[in-house]
Each structure stands twice: as structure tokens, then as C-alpha cells.
Amino acid sequence: VRLVNGTNLCSGRLEVKSNQSWFSVCEADFDLQDSEVICRELGCGGSPVIQATQYEAPVLTKEFRCGGHESTLLDCGSSDKDICSSGKAVQLTCSEPADVRLVGGASQCTGTLEMKQWGEWKPVVEDYWSLRSAGYVCGQLDCGSVISTRRREDTSPRHMWQLKSDCDESLLTKCFRRPVHSSFILEITCSDSIRLMNGTDLCSGRLEVKSNQSWSSVCEDDFDLQDAKVVCRELGCGERSVFRGELHGEVETGWMNMFNCEGHESALLDCGRSGSTRNTCSTGKAVVLACSDRNDVRLVGGASDCAGRLEMKHQEEWKVVISDSWSLKETAIICRWLDCGSPVSAVKREDSSERPAWYIKYSCVQSQSTVRECVTTRNYTYYDILEITCLESVRLVDQSVSCSGRLEVKSNLSWSSVCEDDFDWQDAEVVCRELGCGAPSVLQGVLYGKVEAAVWTEEFQCEGNESALLDCEGSGSVRKTCSPNKAVGLTCSGDTRLVGEPSRCAGFLEMKNRGEWRPVTDSDSAWDQKSAAAVCAQLVCGSAVSTRRSDDFPYRVVWWIKSPCVQSASSLQECLREIGIDECHTGLEVICSDLLAQPVISLSPSTDGVSQGKQQGSQVLLGSNFTIRCSVQPQYEGGTFQLVFNTSATVQNYTLPAVNHSAHFLFSAADHTHPGEYRCLYHVYVFSQNFSSESRPLYLYEAEDVDRQPWSGFGCELSGGFGLFLSGFSNAGPVDWLRRVVTGFGVWFG
């Protein structure tokens, strides 16, 4: 038997194997006793839930008749059936077994972590466990929020369970890897009596208190700032806190006492209580609390509080924070956490002295968790430290990448948006340079409802060569509102290029980081077409045609990039691994669809009988000869030009080989079929693919059929045999217009 397509090992659509094939089971032929046997056979808990789902053929033509005490389903009696009357298959959910426990502590919510697998309880080896991972254990044990984790060395090594390092800890039963011999065990401390639910991190959420083995929400009426300080301290989340009331359906049966904390207590249940009880919450709102542990993270040794080596206070001890892999994506989270501006760099630097360090899981940081909950129990003595640089006064927000977003400027410890009216392209050049994001590519206003309440009060007047936005001159004038209610939205191009080919949309990937261009290679051997597509998109080069990892690449100092990050981010810059191996001979070649330059369509200089009489086109005399020239800048040899013209009567095209990157299409005796729209298409076969590029349109009109205004089409002969075609007279009058036209001939008319 097996359960497939479920959310865990103990749920899914039931299938039974018979004659070497798997069959769905008809819902009409299955009951609660059958399900109890299945759950027992799979090693899952009891209290099964049976549901119906669309079955996938074939369906077992057998009805089971279990008594509920059997060890396996095939021990049950059965009878043959011809059809499935309900047309539905069995979807079964068993409760997961209690395979996790904490032992040796003062309560069931603290102690050494042990897990049961294959019927055997063993400790879990300490292996990069973070507070976030431990939080799942606390929840599974019906304990409160996680408070701490600790690595402890046992007196003698023994066999322990090891979990996969990249596993989803919320499904611990799927994470087993193998037993290992170790002396390092993991201790977890959960709160016995309080927890924060449904928050954005471990230090925020709806407050619940445990009493008589059940959890209750706390009414907003019965809670104040002193109570909030105690809760935040008890959970190890610092003392700065903000709380509010939030409508919650269960609040009427919530906690019935008012807390009377003074603010210095160690735990909420140590506080005095009113003694009075209430049956309802008058406001109908439960307490939602947000604690801040921002004082437990810092950058030290730099020029400001926004630059330096990353340190964190964990288990009451400050240590350097290290990681095996780090990019600007994680750096952006650190900068935001410290209320600094956008990230500039994260550099691994070798230190001359050994330092004790905390190890942090970068994948945890990427999931938008807080820094505190991502630091693991692993202690290190390390020579390499991580130095981070954030901007102090400028940031781009509301985007997941560091080189795009709404512009904000910091002044007097608060961030303000910049009004679209007060910002131009020169200002954008300075911001992109300051961010280390290349040149600006998009500058536009973005609607922002709060811009009137938080807007930068001066107009920037940058020349474009300044190093920082706040180095630019200001207008001196002050505004209180942003008239179009739009703030500056800025996208910088980043520092990415493809090299080694005549086209900017093909070649080996290079990126500029910390002012230095280097080739890029992937750190996980997972580079694929989706990764290449992200490169083409950032370079505005269309879609990805092909990509490959080339081992013929000469040994070079390289930047390393994480492929999964590339596929999910809008900026390649944030995915660079700036720490790790420096030299490699593997390069990443990318070919994008728009690798050809746009061809140019024009009238050959030798063309007779054609004049530039209209801004959007040219005029051709009936009966005259004319030549259309297609050309493209030198990139690849060979290819063909296709001239396509759309007239009032038909669509026609001609093809000529490219000679010296151009082709000339000669037309004689122009007639009424020639005026229309002309385009050049350039085709070439390179990289085992056919590529094409199309020119802008060229319009030809009959000279005698354009702009029929007064004096239009009037011809006059001048000495020397010049024929002058006049069209498009303005309201200034024909004489004044003639004066301007013939100035080029050196003749003035009175």
C-alpha cells in the first residue's frame, strides 16, 4: 500500500499493489476500519480522515472488509466488485505519529531533542540547527514559541539520527538521512505558556497563553506596553515592542484575566493579575505583538554603523557571523534590518587572528526570516570574516532586488520618498553609480499613496558626475506635497555583459563587482536555459536561444553565481557569491534571440526623383528610378537581406545576398504601385540557428499626391536647370516660405 500526492508521508490518494501494478481504491468500497489498518501499516497515527477524490485508472475491483485490528490491509477479508459505483477514489489522511520529544529538561518543552524512526528513539545530532528549525519542533510538541537552541557535547559518542541539511524542517519525518556516530547533541528550549502565532517571524504574531492544556488569545483591553515588554524579553526577542488589536473570532473564549506587569518580570505568568474574570472581549480584538531584536545585530569596524564586519549577539554572546555562501540578496536583508540604505557589497576577508563565530544559514535569510532565527547552534573558530557595506542615505524599496525600486533618501533618521517633479536623468545617473548598479535604464513615476506625508523637500540638481546623491546641489526651495502624487521609480541596468562575440547579446557572461569585471561561473553546476533567460531579460536581448557551460574557458579569476537565485531574482548582481574559490576554467556562454543589430533602410544617394518632402517618409516622382539600400553594422559575415513592401495593391518581397553587410534594391520607372511601406529584414545563420532582425519602416509617397495645401506641388524653374518641388506650405504665406526654402541655393526673393 502507499499514499501518493499528499502533503506528507501520512496523507494522499490510496493505492494498492496487485500483480506488480498499482491500483486506486474505490471510495464506495472503503470504510473507517479499513483506514485504521492502513494508517497502522504505514506507521502513521490514528484518527484517520477519509475523503473522495478523482481517481486515476486503473481502479481495484475489490472491496476490503477489515475489522480494524489487522496488521496489514491484505490481512483483511475482501470480495470482488465489477465497477466503482461512486466514481471516486479514496483520499486518506492519518495523523502523524508523535515521533519527536525533548528529554532531560524541567518540562516537556525543554531538553535534548530525540526522534523516533523505525521504532527506535535516538538523539538528533546537532547539525546547523537554527531557531527557525527548532520552532517547528516546539509547535509539534504543542509548546509555546522557541526561545533558544544550544549545542552540547555529550560525555561519550553514540549513534544519533542525522537530518538532511536542505530539508524542510516542517516535515521532520521526511528529513532522516542516516544514523551517525557523534557526541554533539542538540538542546531546545520552548516556552511552556506563551506563543506568537501567524506572524512574519518568530518575534511577531497573535499572542496566546496556555492554561489547562489549551491555548487562549489575550484581549486587547487586558494588555499594555509593560506586559508587551515582558513577553518580548521572555521569548528572547529584545524589549522594543509594538502591539495592536486585531479582530479574531476566538477572542470571546480567550484569556479571562487582565495582566498587571511592571515591566521587569522574567515571564508573563510571573506578573500580577486582576483576579476578575470576563466572559467576552468588549473590543472584540486580540493582541497582536511585534518584538524587535534589532539591537542584537551590528556592523563593526567600518566607517559608519552601516559598514563593517557582521556580528550578532546570540545566547548573550557577541560573535562574528559567517556563512559558506553569501550574496547581495542576503546583504540587502541585513541592510534593511539595520535601517541602512541599499546594499553595496559583501566581501569575505581573511583575518589575521582567530575569532569565535556564529554560523548562519543563507537559505534561511533569503526566505525573509530575521537574522536572529537563522543563526545556527554551530560554533566556529574562523579566520575569514564577512564585511558588509550598505549605503547610509539612499535606498530603493518595494522590490526584491537592490537595483530597482522606489527611491528613498534618509534625513534626520527617517526615510522620505523623492517626488518625480524633483528628479531627472542626471540625478538617476548619480544614484545608480552610488548603488554600484551601472547606468539608469528606466526612470518613471510610481504611484505612492503616502508620498504627501513623507516626501523629500528639495529638488536635486545633479550634474551627473557626483559620487553620491547628497553631494549634489539642492534647489533650496521646500515643498510639502508632491503635486502628481508620484514618487521616483528607478531601475538601474546593473553591471552585466556578454563578451567574445560581435553582438552584445551573445558571448560569455561577465559581471562588474566592486569596480572589477570578471567572468561568471555557477557555483552549483545547475546553470540551464531558465538561468540564461534571466540574463537575456536583464540585457534587454529578447529570449534565451541556447546556453552552455564551457570547460574550454581559460583559467581566470571569476565571480561565482548561484543559479537558483538567478531564476527567481530580477537582478543578477544580487546573486553573486563574492566569497569562495577565485579561479576556474568554466565559463557560461549565453546566446539571446536579439543578437543582431537592427538593419538600416535608406534611399541610396544616387537615387533620382525622390525628395524628403515629409518627416515620416520620402516622395517619389512617377517614372523616375530609385534605389533602396539595406545595411547592417558589421557583426557576422554573409547573410541575406529581404526587402518587404506593402502597397495599396499587394505585399511583395525581394531577397539579395549581403555584400559588405549591405544590399541595393533598384527600382526603375516608378508607377502608382510603388508608393507604400518598405522594410528590410536581415537573416543570418550563426550558432547553428537562424536569426533575423527588422528595420524601421520607410514610407514612399507620390510627389504629386502629398499635402494638398495652398501652393502645394508648385514648380518653378531656376537658372541652372534645378527642379524644385514645393510642398507643405505653412500659414506664414508662400513668399515667406519660398524665401526659406531657396536659401540653400544662395538666392533671395523679395
pLDDT band at 35 (very low <50, low <70, confident <90, very high): confident
What's the confidence (pLDDT) of residue 730? Answer: 37
Average pLDDT, the chain: 77
Q: 2-93 and 100-190 share one CATH topology?
A: yes
CATH architecture of the domain 2-93 equals Roll (3.10)
Which has the higher per-residue pLDDT, 200 or 654?
Answer: 654
What's the confidence (pLDDT) of residue 527? Answer: 87
Asked whether the predicted pLDDT for residue 727 surpasses 50, the reply is no
The residue count of the chain comes to 750
CB 634 within 8 A of CB 502: yes
Asked whether the predicted pLDDT for residue 171 surpasses 90, the reply is no
pLDDT band at 253 (very low <50, low <70, confident <90, very high): very low
As a whole-number percent, the residues of the chain with pLDDT over 90 amount to 9
What's the confidence (pLDDT) of residue 5? Answer: 81
Which of 138-142, 482-486, 555-559 ranks highest by mean pLDDT? Answer: 138-142
Q: What is the pLDDT of residues 51-91, one digit of tens each?
A: 888 776 688 878 888 887 787 888 888 888 777 877 788 88
| Assigned CATH for 295-390 | 3.10.250.10
Asked whether the predicted pLDDT for residue 20 surpasses 90, the reply is no
pLDDT band at 449 (very low <50, low <70, confident <90, very high): very low
Asked whether the predicted pLDDT for residue 550 surpasses 50, the reply is yes
Read off the C-alpha cell for 303: 566607517
What average pLDDT does this structure show over 172-177?
Answer: 63
CB 372 within 8 A of CB 297: yes
pLDDT band at 556 (very low <50, low <70, confident <90, very high): confident
Q: b vs e for 279-288, b when ≥16 Cβ sit within 10 Å of the residue's Cβ?
A: eebeebbbbb
What's the confidence (pLDDT) of residue 401? Answer: 55
Asked whether the predicted pLDDT for residue 635 surpasses 80, the reply is yes
What's the confidence (pLDDT) of residue 728? Answer: 39
- CA 380, CA 382: separation in Å to the nearest integer? 6
Provide the CA 238 distance to its chain's centre, in angstroms: 30
Q: What is the pLDDT of residues 315-335, one digit of tens each?
A: 677 888 877 667 677 787 788
Q: What angle do CA 535, 688, 499 make, to 5 degrees?
A: 40
- CA 334, CA 337: separation in Å to the nearest integer? 5
What's the confidence (pLDDT) of residue 251? Answer: 46
Please identify which residue in the block is written with the cell numbers 532586488. 401
Among 26-30, 242-246, 429-433, 627-631, the minimum mean pLDDT is found in 242-246
Decide yes or no: CATH 2.60.40.10 for domain 600-700: yes
194-292: CATH topology is: Mac-2 Binding Protein (3.10.250)
Q: What is the pLDDT of residues 257-269, one digit of tens each?
A: 788 888 888 889 8
Q: b vs e for 22-41, b when ≥16 Cβ sit within 10 Å of the residue's Cβ?
A: ebbbbbbbbeeebbbbbbbe
- CA 704, CA 531: separation in Å to the nearest integer? 56
What's the confidence (pLDDT) of residue 437? Answer: 75
CATH architecture of the domain 496-590 equals Roll (3.10)
What's the confidence (pLDDT) of residue 741? Answer: 45
- CA 313, CA 305: separation in Å to the nearest integer? 16
Q: Where are the domains of the chain?
A: 2-93, 100-190, 194-292, 295-390, 394-492, 496-590, 600-700, 715-745
Q: Helix, strand, or coil here: 74?
A: helix
Which has the higher per-residue pLDDT, 550 or 369?
Answer: 550
Question: Which listed CATH number (3.10.250.10, 3.30.450.20, 3.40.1110.10, 3.90.1150.10) goes with 394-492?
Answer: 3.10.250.10
As a whole-number percent, the residues of the chain with pLDDT over 70 amount to 73
- What is the rounded radius of gyration, in angstroms, for the C-alpha atoms of the chain? 36
- CA 71, CA 37: separation in Å to the nearest integer? 6
What's the confidence (pLDDT) of residue 479? Answer: 61
Decide yes or no: CATH 3.40.50.720 for domain 100-190: no
pLDDT band at 638 (very low <50, low <70, confident <90, very high): very high
- Confirm whether pTM is higher than 0.85: no
What's the confidence (pLDDT) of residue 654? Answer: 93
Which has the higher per-residue pLDDT, 8 or 80?
Answer: 80
